[in-house]
Amino acid sequence: VSHRHIQRYVARGGTALYDGLVDSMVRLSDVPGRRVVVVMTDGRDENATSTGPGSTRTWEDVLATARSTGATVYAIGFGTNVDVGRLVELTSLSGGEAYFTNDVSELGEHYQRIVDDLHRRYVLAYTSTNANRNGGWRAVGIKTTDPALKVRSSDGYFAPAQ
């Protein structure tokens, strides 16, 4: 599809964004290896008349699902009325990144940035000293001593329940 075709596309109706994000992450939860969701959106969850939500799930459901599935979310916020705060919140929490544009000719560049970022990822593992198997959230922070390096990761994990 060329930029010309995308530029002529007119979006109509609402978007069940939260349902789509939750369903995508849940679908990936049993996939071995890296789980990544890429979404191009204005970040708004609206019904067809823009008078109410488009999803049955809430924003809190989206954030909880990102935490519980370990999926990394990348977002391309597209348009002039983008909910930047929500997209940054989700991508930061999940260890992804958000990019923003209202110029269709920049979309290829943003998708390439996501691909490049995925090629530069490393996996770190450690064994927790906390032996409690209570299913609780455990915050994890990763820092580097090299200011030239940028570290992005999820902000923790759920402990085993049993």
Per-residue pLDDT at 150 exceeds 80: no
Mean pLDDT confidence for 104-113: 93
Q: What's phi and psi for 35, nearest 5 deg? A: -115, 115
Angle at 55 between CA 43 and CA 161, to 5 degrees: 95
- pLDDT (tens digit, 9 = 90+) per residue, 115-127? 998 888 776 777 7
Interstrand relation of 137-139 and 156-158 (parallel, antiparallel or unpaired): antiparallel
Q: How many residues does the chain have?
A: 162
Place of tokens 């007119």: 10
- Which three-class secondary structure state does DSSP give residue 62? helix
Instruction: Please give the pLDDT value at position 87.
Output: 97
Q: Check: CB of residue 135 under 8 Å from CB of residue 160.
A: yes
Indicate whether 2 pLDDT > 60: no
pLDDT digits (tens, 9 = 90+) for 68-103: 898 999 999 999 889 999 999 999 999 899 999 999
